[in-house]
Amino acid sequence: MEYQSILNSIEKEASYKESSGNVASYIPELAKIDPNKFGMHLYCINSGHYGFGDQQERFSIQSISKVFSLTLAMSLLNDDELFKRVDVEPSGDPFNSLVQLEYENGIPRNPLINAGALVIADILISTLDNPEEKFLNLIRTISDNSEININPKVFQSEKKFSHRNAALLNLMKSFGNIKNPIEAVLDLYTFQCAIEMSCKELATAFMIYANSGKTLFDDTQMISERKVKRINAIMQTCGFYDEAGEFSFRVGLPGKSGVGGGIAAIHPGQYAVTTWSPRLNPKGNSELGMFALERLTTLTGFSIF
Protein backbone atom coordinates (compact mmCIF):
# COMPACT_ATOMS: atom_id res chain seq x y z
CA MET A 1 0.00 0.00 0.00
CA GLU A 2 1.30 3.44 -0.96
CA TYR A 3 0.64 4.96 2.44
CA GLN A 4 2.89 8.02 2.04
CA SER A 5 1.25 9.13 -1.20
CA ILE A 6 -2.21 8.56 0.33
CA LEU A 7 -1.22 10.65 3.34
CA ASN A 8 0.14 13.36 1.03
CA SER A 9 -3.23 13.49 -0.77
CA ILE A 10 -5.04 13.77 2.56
CA GLU A 11 -2.78 16.67 3.61
CA LYS A 12 -3.53 18.44 0.34
CA GLU A 13 -7.29 17.87 0.52
CA ALA A 14 -7.33 19.07 4.13
CA SER A 15 -5.54 22.28 3.17
CA TYR A 16 -8.53 23.21 0.97
CA LYS A 17 -11.01 22.52 3.74
CA GLU A 18 -12.51 25.29 5.84
CA SER A 19 -12.61 24.15 9.46
CA SER A 20 -15.14 25.97 11.56
CA GLY A 21 -14.40 24.08 14.79
CA ASN A 22 -13.13 25.67 17.98
CA VAL A 23 -10.26 24.79 20.27
CA ALA A 24 -11.42 23.43 23.68
CA SER A 25 -11.63 26.42 26.01
CA TYR A 26 -13.17 24.97 29.17
CA ILE A 27 -9.61 23.98 30.10
CA PRO A 28 -8.05 27.48 29.76
CA GLU A 29 -4.53 26.21 29.08
CA LEU A 30 -5.80 24.28 26.02
CA ALA A 31 -7.34 27.45 24.59
CA LYS A 32 -3.81 28.78 23.98
CA ILE A 33 -2.99 26.14 21.36
CA ASP A 34 -2.59 27.26 17.74
CA PRO A 35 -5.86 26.02 16.15
CA ASN A 36 -4.17 25.47 12.79
CA LYS A 37 -1.80 22.74 13.92
CA PHE A 38 -2.31 19.60 11.87
CA GLY A 39 -0.40 16.35 11.79
CA MET A 40 -0.97 12.72 10.96
CA HIS A 41 1.07 9.58 11.50
CA LEU A 42 0.51 6.02 10.34
CA TYR A 43 2.55 3.14 11.77
CA CYS A 44 2.17 0.05 9.63
CA ILE A 45 2.96 -3.40 11.02
CA ASN A 46 4.65 -4.49 7.81
CA SER A 47 6.22 -1.33 6.48
CA GLY A 48 6.91 1.17 9.28
CA HIS A 49 6.27 4.89 9.69
CA TYR A 50 4.53 7.45 7.45
CA GLY A 51 3.29 10.93 8.22
CA PHE A 52 3.05 14.66 7.58
CA GLY A 53 2.70 18.04 9.22
CA ASP A 54 2.97 18.54 12.97
CA GLN A 55 3.27 14.80 13.58
CA GLN A 56 6.25 15.15 15.93
CA GLU A 57 4.86 17.94 18.12
CA ARG A 58 3.46 16.92 21.48
CA PHE A 59 -0.11 17.80 22.44
CA SER A 60 -2.40 17.07 25.37
CA ILE A 61 -3.75 13.54 24.91
CA GLN A 62 -6.75 14.18 27.24
CA SER A 63 -9.39 11.45 26.84
CA ILE A 64 -7.15 9.27 24.66
CA SER A 65 -5.50 8.42 28.01
CA LYS A 66 -8.70 6.57 28.99
CA VAL A 67 -7.67 3.71 26.68
CA PHE A 68 -4.35 3.40 28.52
CA SER A 69 -5.97 3.48 31.97
CA LEU A 70 -8.44 0.82 30.87
CA THR A 71 -5.52 -1.28 29.59
CA LEU A 72 -3.69 -0.92 32.91
CA ALA A 73 -6.81 -1.84 34.91
CA MET A 74 -7.56 -4.85 32.65
CA SER A 75 -3.97 -6.05 33.06
CA LEU A 76 -4.40 -6.00 36.86
CA LEU A 77 -7.95 -7.28 37.43
CA ASN A 78 -10.02 -10.00 35.90
CA ASP A 79 -12.78 -8.77 33.63
CA ASP A 80 -15.65 -10.10 35.79
CA GLU A 81 -14.44 -8.05 38.73
CA LEU A 82 -13.70 -4.91 36.70
CA PHE A 83 -16.89 -4.82 34.67
CA LYS A 84 -19.08 -5.01 37.76
CA ARG A 85 -18.03 -1.41 38.42
CA VAL A 86 -18.34 -0.08 34.87
CA ASP A 87 -20.45 -1.31 31.95
CA VAL A 88 -19.53 -1.73 28.26
CA GLU A 89 -22.50 -0.08 26.55
CA PRO A 90 -22.37 3.04 24.36
CA SER A 91 -23.83 6.02 26.20
CA GLY A 92 -25.11 8.14 23.32
CA ASP A 93 -24.51 11.11 25.61
CA PRO A 94 -21.74 13.72 25.84
CA PHE A 95 -18.44 12.69 27.46
CA ASN A 96 -19.09 14.51 30.73
CA SER A 97 -22.82 13.80 31.09
CA LEU A 98 -24.30 13.04 34.51
CA VAL A 99 -27.79 12.08 33.46
CA GLN A 100 -27.62 8.27 33.09
CA LEU A 101 -25.67 7.81 36.29
CA GLU A 102 -28.54 8.56 38.60
CA TYR A 103 -31.05 6.09 37.21
CA GLU A 104 -28.32 3.50 36.55
CA ASN A 105 -27.26 3.46 40.23
CA GLY A 106 -23.82 5.03 39.81
CA ILE A 107 -22.54 2.43 37.31
CA PRO A 108 -21.12 4.31 34.29
CA ARG A 109 -22.12 3.10 30.83
CA ASN A 110 -18.51 2.47 29.72
CA PRO A 111 -14.85 3.17 30.64
CA LEU A 112 -14.34 5.83 27.94
CA ILE A 113 -16.82 8.45 29.16
CA ASN A 114 -15.61 10.61 32.04
CA ALA A 115 -17.66 8.76 34.67
CA GLY A 116 -16.23 5.41 33.57
CA ALA A 117 -12.66 6.68 33.41
CA LEU A 118 -13.08 8.10 36.93
CA VAL A 119 -14.13 4.65 38.20
CA ILE A 120 -11.09 3.14 36.45
CA ALA A 121 -8.86 5.76 38.15
CA ASP A 122 -10.44 4.80 41.49
CA ILE A 123 -9.68 1.13 40.80
CA LEU A 124 -6.05 1.95 39.91
CA ILE A 125 -5.62 3.86 43.18
CA SER A 126 -6.99 0.88 45.14
CA THR A 127 -4.76 -1.59 43.29
CA LEU A 128 -1.41 0.16 42.79
CA ASP A 129 1.19 1.97 44.87
CA ASN A 130 2.03 5.17 43.10
CA PRO A 131 -0.49 4.81 40.22
CA GLU A 132 0.74 8.02 38.50
CA GLU A 133 4.19 6.51 38.09
CA LYS A 134 2.81 3.14 36.93
CA PHE A 135 0.60 4.93 34.43
CA LEU A 136 3.49 6.90 32.98
CA ASN A 137 5.64 3.76 32.92
CA LEU A 138 3.05 1.92 30.82
CA ILE A 139 2.90 4.74 28.28
CA ARG A 140 6.67 5.16 28.20
CA THR A 141 7.13 1.43 27.67
CA ILE A 142 4.63 1.01 24.84
CA SER A 143 5.72 4.17 23.06
CA ASP A 144 9.40 3.29 23.56
CA ASN A 145 10.10 6.76 24.90
CA SER A 146 11.14 7.46 28.48
CA GLU A 147 10.67 11.23 28.12
CA ILE A 148 6.88 11.25 27.90
CA ASN A 149 5.43 13.31 30.73
CA ILE A 150 2.55 15.49 31.81
CA ASN A 151 2.22 19.21 31.20
CA PRO A 152 1.88 20.60 34.75
CA LYS A 153 0.17 23.78 33.49
CA VAL A 154 -2.57 21.76 31.80
CA PHE A 155 -2.96 19.70 34.97
CA GLN A 156 -3.36 22.81 37.16
CA SER A 157 -5.61 24.51 34.64
CA GLU A 158 -8.00 21.54 34.46
CA LYS A 159 -7.96 21.03 38.25
CA LYS A 160 -9.31 24.56 38.73
CA PHE A 161 -12.28 23.83 36.46
CA SER A 162 -13.07 20.23 37.43
CA HIS A 163 -16.46 20.90 38.97
CA ARG A 164 -18.28 18.56 36.62
CA ASN A 165 -15.86 15.67 37.13
CA ALA A 166 -16.12 16.30 40.88
CA ALA A 167 -19.91 16.14 40.54
CA LEU A 168 -19.66 12.80 38.70
CA LEU A 169 -17.40 11.48 41.46
CA ASN A 170 -19.69 12.68 44.24
CA LEU A 171 -22.72 11.12 42.61
CA MET A 172 -20.94 7.79 42.11
CA LYS A 173 -19.58 7.88 45.66
CA SER A 174 -23.13 8.29 46.96
CA PHE A 175 -23.89 4.94 45.26
CA GLY A 176 -20.75 3.34 46.75
CA ASN A 177 -18.96 3.06 43.38
CA ILE A 178 -15.99 5.27 44.36
CA LYS A 179 -13.86 3.84 47.18
CA ASN A 180 -11.11 6.45 47.53
CA PRO A 181 -11.24 10.15 48.45
CA ILE A 182 -12.74 12.28 45.65
CA GLU A 183 -9.67 14.52 45.51
CA ALA A 184 -7.27 11.60 45.00
CA VAL A 185 -9.33 10.18 42.11
CA LEU A 186 -9.69 13.60 40.51
CA ASP A 187 -5.92 14.08 40.75
CA LEU A 188 -5.09 10.79 39.02
CA TYR A 189 -7.68 11.33 36.29
CA THR A 190 -6.53 14.91 35.64
CA PHE A 191 -2.90 13.74 35.66
CA GLN A 192 -3.53 11.11 32.97
CA CYS A 193 -5.38 13.64 30.78
CA ALA A 194 -2.46 16.11 31.03
CA ILE A 195 0.02 13.70 29.44
CA GLU A 196 1.53 15.05 26.23
CA MET A 197 2.49 12.92 23.23
CA SER A 198 3.09 13.48 19.54
CA CYS A 199 1.17 11.71 16.77
CA LYS A 200 4.22 9.52 16.17
CA GLU A 201 4.53 8.55 19.85
CA LEU A 202 0.80 7.86 20.12
CA ALA A 203 0.77 5.69 17.01
CA THR A 204 3.69 3.70 18.42
CA ALA A 205 1.81 3.25 21.72
CA PHE A 206 -1.45 2.32 19.98
CA MET A 207 0.35 -0.36 17.98
CA ILE A 208 -0.32 -2.79 20.86
CA TYR A 209 -4.05 -2.61 19.98
CA ALA A 210 -3.33 -3.32 16.30
CA ASN A 211 -0.73 -5.99 17.02
CA SER A 212 -2.64 -8.42 19.29
CA GLY A 213 -1.40 -6.80 22.50
CA LYS A 214 2.32 -6.79 21.57
CA THR A 215 4.75 -3.94 21.02
CA LEU A 216 6.14 -4.02 17.50
CA PHE A 217 9.64 -2.83 18.36
CA ASP A 218 10.44 -5.65 20.81
CA ASP A 219 7.50 -8.06 20.65
CA THR A 220 6.55 -7.74 24.35
CA GLN A 221 3.05 -9.04 25.13
CA MET A 222 1.66 -6.09 27.13
CA ILE A 223 -1.89 -7.43 27.40
CA SER A 224 -3.53 -10.63 26.22
CA GLU A 225 -4.98 -10.92 22.73
CA ARG A 226 -8.43 -11.58 24.20
CA LYS A 227 -8.35 -8.41 26.28
CA VAL A 228 -7.17 -6.35 23.30
CA LYS A 229 -10.16 -7.61 21.35
CA ARG A 230 -12.37 -6.31 24.14
CA ILE A 231 -10.60 -2.94 24.37
CA ASN A 232 -10.96 -2.49 20.62
CA ALA A 233 -14.66 -3.38 20.82
CA ILE A 234 -15.12 -0.72 23.51
CA MET A 235 -13.26 1.85 21.38
CA GLN A 236 -15.43 1.00 18.38
CA THR A 237 -18.70 1.40 20.27
CA CYS A 238 -17.82 4.09 22.84
CA GLY A 239 -14.64 5.92 21.77
CA PHE A 240 -16.47 8.97 20.40
CA TYR A 241 -19.31 9.31 22.95
CA ASP A 242 -22.47 10.56 21.24
CA GLU A 243 -20.62 10.46 17.93
CA ALA A 244 -19.43 6.84 18.14
CA GLY A 245 -21.94 5.81 15.47
CA GLU A 246 -20.84 8.65 13.21
CA PHE A 247 -17.15 7.74 13.56
CA SER A 248 -17.90 4.07 12.81
CA PHE A 249 -20.08 5.07 9.88
CA ARG A 250 -17.56 7.45 8.34
CA VAL A 251 -14.22 5.86 9.27
CA GLY A 252 -14.89 2.22 10.17
CA LEU A 253 -12.05 1.73 12.66
CA PRO A 254 -11.91 1.49 16.47
CA GLY A 255 -10.61 4.82 17.76
CA LYS A 256 -10.46 7.30 20.60
CA SER A 257 -10.57 11.08 20.61
CA GLY A 258 -9.45 13.74 23.08
CA VAL A 259 -10.32 17.41 23.54
CA GLY A 260 -6.66 18.29 22.89
CA GLY A 261 -7.59 17.58 19.24
CA GLY A 262 -5.98 14.15 18.97
CA ILE A 263 -7.48 10.96 17.56
CA ALA A 264 -5.87 7.52 17.69
CA ALA A 265 -7.33 4.65 15.70
CA ILE A 266 -6.23 1.17 14.70
CA HIS A 267 -6.78 -1.36 11.97
CA PRO A 268 -6.20 -4.74 13.68
CA GLY A 269 -3.33 -6.61 12.06
CA GLN A 270 -2.51 -3.64 9.83
CA TYR A 271 -1.66 -0.29 11.42
CA ALA A 272 -2.11 2.31 14.13
CA VAL A 273 -2.93 5.83 12.92
CA THR A 274 -3.13 9.17 14.71
CA THR A 275 -4.17 12.69 13.83
CA TRP A 276 -3.90 16.02 15.63
CA SER A 277 -5.93 19.12 14.80
CA PRO A 278 -7.21 21.15 17.78
CA ARG A 279 -10.38 22.52 16.15
CA LEU A 280 -13.23 20.48 17.64
CA ASN A 281 -16.73 19.87 16.36
CA PRO A 282 -19.69 20.50 18.69
CA LYS A 283 -19.35 16.98 20.16
CA GLY A 284 -15.75 17.63 21.25
CA ASN A 285 -14.03 15.57 18.55
CA SER A 286 -11.40 16.88 16.11
CA GLU A 287 -13.13 17.98 12.94
CA LEU A 288 -10.15 17.70 10.60
CA GLY A 289 -8.96 14.51 12.30
CA MET A 290 -12.25 12.79 11.53
CA PHE A 291 -12.06 14.04 7.94
CA ALA A 292 -8.47 12.76 7.54
CA LEU A 293 -9.34 9.32 8.88
CA GLU A 294 -12.42 9.08 6.71
CA ARG A 295 -10.26 9.88 3.70
CA LEU A 296 -7.69 7.27 4.80
CA THR A 297 -10.19 4.39 4.83
CA THR A 298 -11.76 5.70 1.62
CA LEU A 299 -8.51 6.11 -0.33
CA THR A 300 -7.02 2.81 0.89
CA GLY A 301 -10.34 1.11 0.21
CA PHE A 302 -10.32 -0.84 3.45
CA SER A 303 -11.56 -0.53 6.99
CA ILE A 304 -12.56 -3.24 9.46
CA PHE A 305 -15.96 -3.58 7.79
To ligand DON, the closest distance from the beta carbon of 161 in angstroms equals: 9
Asked if 62 is part of the footprint of ligand DON (rule: CB under 6 A), the reply reads: yes
Residue whose CB is less far from ligand DON, 208 or 259: 259
Cα(16)–Cα(101) distance, rounded to whole angstroms? Answer: 42
DSSP label at residue 89: S
Q: How far is CA 266 from CA 12, 63, 203, 270, in A?
A: 23, 16, 9, 8
| Region at 252 (left for phi over 0; alpha for psi -120 to 50; beta for the rest) | left
Where does this chain touch ligand DON (CB under 6 A) — which range of 34-42, 177-185, 201-209, 253-261?
253-261
Residue whose CB is less far from ligand DON, 95 or 276: 95
Where does this chain touch ligand DON (CB under 6 A) — which range of 68-76, 167-175, 252-260, 263-271?
252-260
- Residues 6+ away with beta carbon under 8 Å from 102: 171
How remote is the C-alpha of 148 from its chain's centroid?
Answer: 16
Site residues for ligand DON, 261-300, by CB under 6 A, read 284-285
What is the longest distance spanned by two Cα atoms in the chain? 54
Q: From the annotation, which residues make up the binding site?
A: 63, 114, 158, 165, 189, 241, 259
Find out whether 131 and 188 touch, Cβ atoms under 8 Å: yes
To ligand DON, the closest distance from the beta carbon of 62 in angstroms equals: 3
To ligand DON, the closest distance from the beta carbon of 45 in angstroms equals: 27
Q: How far is CA 227 from CA 44, 76, 78, 198, 230, in A?
A: 21, 12, 10, 26, 5
Site residues for ligand DON, 129-188, by CB under 6 A, read 158, 165
Q: From the annotation, which residues make up the binding site for substrate?
A: 63, 114, 158, 165, 189, 241, 259
To ligand DON, the closest distance from the beta carbon of 271 in angstroms equals: 22
Residue whose CB is less far from ligand DON, 39 or 260: 260
If DSSP codes are grouped into helix, strand and coil, which group holds residue 63? Answer: helix
Question: For the chain, what is the radius of gyration of the CA atoms?
Answer: 18
To ligand DON, the closest distance from the beta carbon of 301 in angstroms equals: 28
E strand or H helix that includes residue 226? helix 225-238
To ligand DON, the closest distance from the beta carbon of 80 in angstroms equals: 28
Residue whose CB is less far from ligand DON, 115 or 210: 115
**Which residues are near ligand DON by CB under 6 A?**
62-63, 95-96, 114, 158, 165, 193, 257-259, 284-285
